[in-house]
Amino acid sequence: MGFRRPQTIRPRAGGQYVKGRWVEGADAVPYTIQASVQPARLSDYDMLQPNAEGRRITAAVRIYTTAVLNVAGQDDQNGDRLVWNRAPHPGDYLVVAVAPWQSGVISHYRYLAVLLAN
């Protein structure tokens, strides 16, 4: 899992439907968590592969942390974003999946996040 370092998370307020159209929530105050961020594996990309007409995934990362993050599509939340300023693909990464590892030894969450297009 590697060593955890301070990472910035940008949460978003819950979205809502207005006259039948989805309106994104506003940005909330960023906060810091302790997490290990690593490049995603090839198998992660296979799992995240969107439909041909959907969003293209240019980069993805794994986030290991004890913090609870909002995952896009799980409820009315838009999903938290990891601010990742390291090469080769710096930018905001949207949290899109979670796997809880609550074994009682080193309990943590493994999140998958994809690079947002600018």
Q: Is 2.40.50 the CATH number for 5-13+23-115? A: no
CA–CA gap between residue 67 and residue 45 (Å, rounded): 23
Q: What percent of the chain has pLDDT over 70?
A: 85
CA–CA gap between residue 61 and residue 23 (Å, rounded): 27
What is the value of pTM for the model shown?
0.82
Structure tokens at 14: 């819950």
Q: Dihedral of CA 85/87/90/93: which sign?
A: negative
Q: Dihedral of CA 78/80/84/88: which sign?
A: negative
Question: Using an 8 Å Cβ cutoff, are 61 and 38 in contact?
Answer: yes
Strand partners, 97: 112
What pLDDT does 49 receive?
A: 63
Quick one: average pLDDT of 2-10? 90
Q: What tens digit of pLDDT does each residue of 13-33 get?
A: 877 889 999 787 888 999 999
Quick one: average pLDDT of 52-74? 83
CA dihedral defined by 54, 44, 98, 1, rounded to 10 degrees? -150
Query: Domain residue spans in the chain?
Result: 5-13+23-115
